Amino acid sequence: MENNGLSRKSNNKKHHRRIAEGILVLLFTLVLACGFVLSLCLPLRPSVSENEKRELSPFPAFSFKALFDGSYFHGIDLWFSDTFPLRESIIAVNSRIQSLHGIGNVQIKGNLEQGDDIPDAPLSTTEPPSDLALQTTATEPPTTAKEPEDDPDVPRESFDSFLLYGTGGYDYYNFRKDMANRYIGLINRTAAGSNAALYSMVVPISTDIILPESVKKSINSSDQKKASEYLYGSMAPDVKTIPVYDSLMAHRNEYIYFRTDHHWTALGAYYCYVEWAKVKGVEPVPLSKYEKVTYDGFLGSFYAATNKNAGMKKNPDYVDAYKPFNNVSMRIRDKKGNEFGNKVLTDVSTWSASSKYLTFIGGDNPYTVIENKDLTDGSSCIVVKESYANAFVPFLIPHYQTIHVVDFRYWSGNVVSFAKEKNIDDILYLNNISVTRSEPLIKRMEKVSG
Amino acid sequence: MVFSNLFFLYIFLPLNLLFYSLAKTIPAKNAVMLVFSLFFYAWGEPKYVLLLVGMVFADWIFALLIENSANKKTARFWLVLACIVNLGSIGIFKYGTFIAANLKALTGYPAVIPAIALPIGISFYTFQILSYVIDVYRGEVKAQRNFAHLLMYVSLFHQCIAGPIVRYSDVSAEIIKRQTNIPQISAGITRFAVGLAKKALLANTCGLIADAAWLTDSAAAEAGNLAANSAVLASRPAAFLWLGALAFALQIYLDFSAYSDMAIGMGLMIGFHYKENFLYPYTANSVSHFWRLWHISLSSFFRDYVYFPLGGSRRGLARTVFNLFIVWLLTGLWHGASWNFVLWGLYFFVFIAAEKVFLAGVLKKLPKVFGHIYTLTVVLFSWVLFRFRQLPLGWLVFKGMFALNKNPFTSFETKTMWLNYIFFLAVAIIAVTPLVKKISDYFASPKVAATVPGIIINYARIPAVILSVILSTFALVGNSYNPFLYFQF
Q: What is the 3-state secondary structure (H, E, C) of A241-265?
A: ECCCHHHHHHCCCCCCECCCCCCEC
Residues in A 423-442 with any Cβ partner in B closer than 8 A: none
pLDDT in tens, B402-450: 999 888 898 888 888 898 899 999 999 999 999 999 998 898 888 888 8
Is B372 catalytic? The answer is no
Chain B residue closest to A79 (CA)?
A: B7
Give residue A138's pLDDT: 32
| CB of A27 less than 8 A from some CB of B | yes
Q: A 70-129 residues with CB below 8 A of B?
A: 70, 73, 76-77, 80-82, 84, 87, 90-91, 93-94, 97-98, 100-104, 106-108, 110-114
Nearest to A70 among B44, B235, B419 (CB): B44
Handedness of CA B338, B343, B348, B352 (dihedral sign): positive
Measured between alpha carbons, how far is A79 from A61 in angstroms, rounded to an integer?
11
**pLDDT, tens only, B262-294:** 999 999 999 999 999 999 999 999 999 999 999
Q: Give chain A positions within 8 Å (CB) of B450.
A: 9-10, 12-13
So what's the pLDDT on residue A132?
Answer: 39
Q: Which residues, 6 or more positions from A129, have their beta carbon under 8 angstroms from its beta carbon?
A: A123, A181
**Which residue type occupies A145?**
A
Contact B44/A70 with Cβ under 8 angstroms? yes
Mean of all residue pLDDT scores within chain B: 91
Query: Cα A137 from chain centroid?
Result: 29
Of A70-79, A422-431, B97-106, the range with the highest mean pLDDT is A422-431
Q: Does A237 sit behind a cis peptide bond, omega within 30 degrees of 0 on the bond before it? A: no
Task: Give start and end residues of each alpha helix (H) in A315-423.
Answer: 415-421
Nearest neighbour of B459 by CB, restricted to A10, A20, A28:
A20
Q: Does the ipTM exceed 0.95?
A: no
Structure confidence at residue A143 (pLDDT): 31
Query: Can you tell me the mean pLDDT for B380-393?
Result: 93
Q: What is the pLDDT of residue B485?
A: 54
| Long-range pairs of B301-306 with CB within 8 A, sequence gap ≥ 24 | B301/B127, B301/B131, B301/B165, B302/B327, B302/B330, B302/B331, B303/B327, B304/B131, B305/B130, B305/B131, B305/B134, B306/B330
Of A39, A84, A111, the CB nearest to B212: A111
Cβ proximity of B128 and B300 under 8 Å: no
- Report how far residue B301's alpha carbon sits from residue A300's, in angstroms, rounded to the nearest whole number: 55
- How far apart CA B154 and CA B275 sit, in angstroms, is 15
Q: Which whole number is the average pLDDT over B113-119? A: 81
Q: Residue B129: phi, psi to the nearest 5? A: -75, -30
pLDDT tens, position by position, A283-331: 999 999 999 999 999 999 888 888 788 888 889 999 999 999 999 999 9
In A214-233, the residues whose Cβ lies within 8 Å of chain B are 215, 218-220
To the nearest whole Å, the CA of B22 is away from the closest chain A CA by 14
Q: In this structure, is the dihedral angle defined by the CA atoms of residues B415, A164, A432 and A257, taken in order, positive or negative? A: negative
Residue type for B45, please? E
Residues in B touching A23 (Cβ below 8 Å): 462
Res A131: pLDDT: 41
Say if residue B112's pLDDT is above 50. yes
For residue A133, pLDDT beyond 50:
no
Residue of chain B nearest A88, judged by CA positions: B478
Residues of A in contact with B411 (CB under 8 A): 218, 220
Task: Give yes or no for B13 touching A (CB within 8 A).
Answer: yes
Q: Cα separation of B354 and B321, whole Å?
A: 9
- Residues whose CB falls within 8 Å of the CB of residue B458, separated by 6 or more in sequence, listed in order: A16, A17, A20, B443, B444, B449
**Residue A170 bridge partners (DSSP):** A163
Nearest to B84 by CA among B122, B133, B142: B133
Cα A255 to Cα A271: distance, rounded to the nearest angstrom: 11
pLDDT at A129: 42
In whole angstroms, give the CA distance from residue A218 to residue A223: 11
Q: What is the largest CA-CA distance in chain B?
A: 75
Upper half-sphere CA count for residue A349 (Cβ side, 13 Å): 3
Beta strands A402-407 and A339-341, pairing class: unpaired
Q: Is the pLDDT of residue A127 over 50?
A: no
- Give, in order, the Cα–Cα distances in Å from A269 to each of A125, A276, A302, B203: 30, 10, 20, 44
Amino acid at B385: L
Higher confidence at residue B489 or residue B7? B7
The tally of CA atoms less than 13 A away on the side-chain side of residue A165 is: 20
| pLDDT surpassing 60 at residue A355 | yes
pLDDT at B480: 56
Q: CA torsion B314→B316→B319→B324, rounded to 10°? A: 60
The answer to whether the beta carbons of residues A397 and A329 sit under 8 Å apart is: no
Q: List CB contacts of B312: < 8 A, sequence separation 6 or more.
A: B320, B323
Q: Tell me the C-alpha distance between A259 and B149, whole Å.
A: 62
The secondary structure of B277-306 as a DSSP string is S-S-GGG-SSHHHHHHHSSHHHHHHHIIII
Pairing relationship of beta strands A54-55 and A106-110 according to DSSP bridges: unpaired
Chain B hits for A39, CB-CB cut-off 8 Å, are: 6, 10-11
C-beta atoms surrounding A132 within 10 Å: 18
CB of B419 less than 8 A from some CB of A: yes
- In DSSP notation, B100-139 reads HHHHHHHH--SSS---PPPPTTHHHHHHHHHHHHHHHHTT
Q: How many CA atoms lie within 13 A of B386 on its CB side?
A: 22
Which residue in B149, B289, B295, B335 is the catalytic one?
A: B335
CB contact (8 A) between residue B473 and residue A35:
yes
> Mean pLDDT lowest for which of A121-130, A336-345, A349-358, B187-196?
A121-130
**430-459 in chain B: CB under 8 A from chain A:** 446, 449-450, 454-455, 458-459
**How many Å lie between the alpha carbon of B68 and the closest alpha carbon of chain A?**
39
Distance CA A435, CA A186 (A): 13
pLDDT higher than threshold 60 for residue A154: no
CB A304 within 8 A of CB A354: yes
pLDDT band at A390 (very low <50, low <70, confident <90, very high): very high
Contacts of A27 in chain B (CB under 8 A): 462, 466
- Chain B residues within an 8 Å CB radius of A13: 446, 449-450, 454-455
Task: Please give the residue of chain B at the shortest CA–CA distance from A18.
Answer: B183
By Cβ distance, the residue of A24, A81, A103 closest to B419 is A103
Those residues with Cβ within 8 angstroms of residue B343's Cβ, 6 or more apart along the chain or in another chain: B332, B385, B391
Can you tell me whether residue A189 is helix, strand or coil? Answer: helix
Q: What is the pTM of this model?
A: 0.81
Mean pLDDT of A211-234: 89
- Contact (CB, 8 A) for A277 and A284: yes
The whole-number pLDDT of residue B479 equals 65
- At A154 the three-state DSSP class reads coil
Q: Phi and psi dihedrals of A305, rounded to 5?
A: -70, -20
Give the C-alpha separation, B85 to B65, whole Å.
15
Give residue A8's pLDDT band: very low, low, confident or very high (50, 70, 90): low
Q: With H, G, I as helix, E, B as strand and everything else as coil, classify residue A405.
A: strand
Q: Write the secondary structure of B430-450 as one string of H (helix), E (strand) and C (coil).
A: HHCCCHHHHHHHHHHCHHHHC
Contacts of B231 in chain A (CB under 8 A): 114
Mean pLDDT of chain A: 85
Closest Cα of chain B to A405: distance in Å?
A: 36
